[in-house]
Amino acid sequence: MLDRREGLGLIPDQTNSEPRMKICDHAVVAMHYTLTNAAEEVLDSSEGQDPLIYLHGTGGVIPGLEAALLDKVVGDQFTAVIEPDDAYGAVNPSLVQVVPRSAFEGVESIEAGMRFTASDGQGDQQSVAIAEVNGDEITVDGNHPLAGQTLHFEVEVISVRAATEEEISHGHVHP
């Protein structure tokens, strides 16, 4: 029998003796993820980079992903399929507009797929993509590039810790 009083230098195994923290509000979560669309094209991934770190409960990740992460623990791996309503929303047709080429002052060539920052003159800026070029009529799309898409996330939880008071009051993670 092992008896710690004999001075064997045994210390409790923290990883086995303490419950692993479940992800909840005010947890700082690090995770690796790969995002694919319905066509199984990889749109984004943390592979080969540092894990994504966020403060749970502050909207740091899209709502569907945050919901899927709730109660997970370090080491958990899972797939989350997230409908547009819980991701970047439905496509809003009113954000698709035809503007004259003259609106792109100083731009030599305009091609579908290019992105521009549009300003409404009141300080608000919006990222828009060129959807179509038809002579002097340029169709721009101000929807988020992932609007209307069902997203598939492969997730691995790398670490979970409690946020500090300062992190909670700031609403973001400190390094």
**C-alpha dihedral over 168, 50, 80, 83, to 10 degrees?**
80
Contacts 24+ apart (CB under 8 A), 167-173: 167/28, 167/55, 168/26, 168/55, 171/55, 171/58, 172/55, 172/58, 172/60, 173/28, 173/53, 173/54, 173/55
Site for Zn ion contains 170 (CB under 5 A):
yes
Residue 171 binding Zn ion, by CB under 5 A? no
- Decide whether 20 or 170 has the Cβ nearer to Zn ion: 170
Stretch that binds Zn ion, among 39-47, 79-87, 95-103, 162-170 (CB under 5 A): 162-170
- Residue placing its CB nearer to Zn ion in the complex, 20 or 161: 161
What is the smallest separation between the CB atom of 4 and Zn ion, expressed in angstroms?
42
Give the shortest CB-170-to-Zn ion separation in angstroms: 3
Nearer to Zn ion, 115 or 170 (CB): 170
Amino acid letter at 118? Answer: A
Q: How far is the CB of 172 from Zn ion (least distance, A)?
A: 5
Q: Which stretch binds Zn ion (CB under 5 A): 9-17, 41-49, 129-137, 163-171?
A: 163-171
Nearest CA to 44 among 159, 162, 144, 173? 144
Residue 70 Cβ vs Zn ion, minimum distance, rounded to whole Å: 24
The residue sitting closest to Zn ion, measured at its beta carbon, is 170
Question: For binding to Zn ion (CB under 5 A), which residues are involved?
Answer: 170
